[in-house]
Amino acid sequence: MHPITRFVATTVTLICLASSAGAQQWSGDKTKIATDVANAILQQKPTPPSVSIGISIDGVPVFAEGFGIANQFTGVKPTASTPYQIGSLTKQMTAALILSLMEGQPRTPVLKPVLAKAAFSLDTPLSAVLPQASAWMPKGTVKIRHLLNMQSGFHSFTNLDKAAPQMPDTTAAITPTNMMAFINLMMEVKPQAFVPGTSYEYSNTNYYLLAEVAEKIMNKGGVGRPPLYRNLLRDRIFIPAGLTETGFVNGAWNTPGAAIAALDTANSSWNKPSWPKGAGDVTSSARDMLRWHAALMTGKVIGKESLNHMFKPVALTGQFNGLPVSYGMGWLAFSAGDLDWYSHNGNIAGFTAHDGIFVNRKTGHWVSAVILTNQSDVKLDQRTACLAQLAMDNAVAGKDINPLVLATCSAP
């Protein structure tokens, strides 16, 4: 039985460290712990054939390795440069693309500036860009910010009952025109659930529509090339961030040597490139994901104000140890004391990914971690939190590392 593709956010399982004035350092002892974490992932159920891990301190990679077998047909082993499908980690890039378009001036000379900042904002109604959306809002007007924050009330097309009327074959590719017709149908079968901005529901529909919004906005701007989502993401995100190992599912820009899924995904639902689009179309490597984190944190793709919007905890999703966990824009946000943890899960047929950025607001230091695997439904959130905390811990020798961090890293 082939698994149904899911692009779902994960819960936060972070044990926060006390703030410290010391500088973060990597060491041989930490490398051993990270290697043990990788080997533990390869042994957990469901078992991934390979895993690639990346860890950075203030944007500088300190650990980037691959483990296992990336391609079971050729026996090729993975490296930190091996591309995997990253599923919903794509949403971070889609959110950054939207914010970049709102800024107007691109941070790369590939595209000429075609938008004034005031022409498009977080408070622009969706129907002003996609007129057909006016029929989708019986509960209230959806603005661009509501899509980004998962607060539109729109049902996720990946959760629609297969017995719904006129349901297309979700294991096959679908044209862009048919996809929008399908979303129109879905809005009738599963109408808007709540007044926009008043609640939270994780929905892939939101980020699919954001990709459509990006295309429509740029088309209005008169860009010469076809304003395809992939073109925009490449020009506005990949090139400024220096992502050379990042592409798209079955896309022309896909890097050779990509990891192969542990299962036959040919008949899996929702996993053809035309289905996920802005919700899960990207492939990337552990090394490139570290470059992505650094680009975000250093203003290479969006400015500080836009980054604050992206990380701002808006939509309450739950609690961890009595503290709120909220959705920002493509990131889950959790804070404790001076420490902020931004993370997201990606799960698409045959692949699981998880990344996180851990920020110490008191010292200004930050670390990031990413784990990529070629197996569906692998639990990675605890492991990513472990690796980020390992990097944030000021200790060098294994015996001096915070016992809570070591416990997190050794937890099943």
Give residue 117's pLDDT.
Answer: 47
Per the listing, tokens 């938008």 go with 115
| Six-digit token string for 13 | 């399982």
Mean pLDDT of 318-344: 91
Give residue 5's pLDDT.
Answer: 42
Mean pLDDT of 131-150: 97
User: What pTM, to 2 d.p., does this model score?
Assistant: 0.92
Mean pLDDT of 169-190: 90
Give residue 250's pLDDT.
Answer: 78
Sheet of strand 50-57, all strands in order from the earlier edge strand to the far edge: 60-68, 50-57, 366-373, 351-360, 339-348, 332-336, 323-327, 315-320
Domains of the chain: 28-90+238-410 (3.40.710.10), 93-228 (3.40.710.10)
- Given a cut of 90, whether residue 105 has pLDDT beyond it is no
Give residue 108's pLDDT.
Answer: 63
Residue pair 387/381 in contact by the 8 Å Cβ criterion: no
Give residue 227's pLDDT.
Answer: 66
Crossing angle of helices 176-189 and 204-220, rounded to 10°: 130
DSSP H or E stretch at residue 84: strand 84-85
Average pLDDT along the chain:
88
- The predicted-structure confidence for 31-80, as pLDDT tens digits, reads as follows 999 999 999 999 999 999 999 999 999 999 999 999 999 998 889 999 99
198 C-beta neighbours (distance < 10 Å), count: 12
Give residue 101's pLDDT.
Answer: 92
- Given a cut of 60, whether residue 255 has pLDDT beyond it is no
Of 58-72, 144-158, 240-254, least confident by mean pLDDT is 240-254
Residue pair 322/329 in contact by the 8 Å Cβ criterion: no
- Given a cut of 80, whether residue 325 has pLDDT beyond it is yes
Mean pLDDT of 82-92: 97
Q: How confident is residue 346, by pLDDT bands cut at 50, 70 and 90?
A: very high
3-state secondary structure of 269: strand
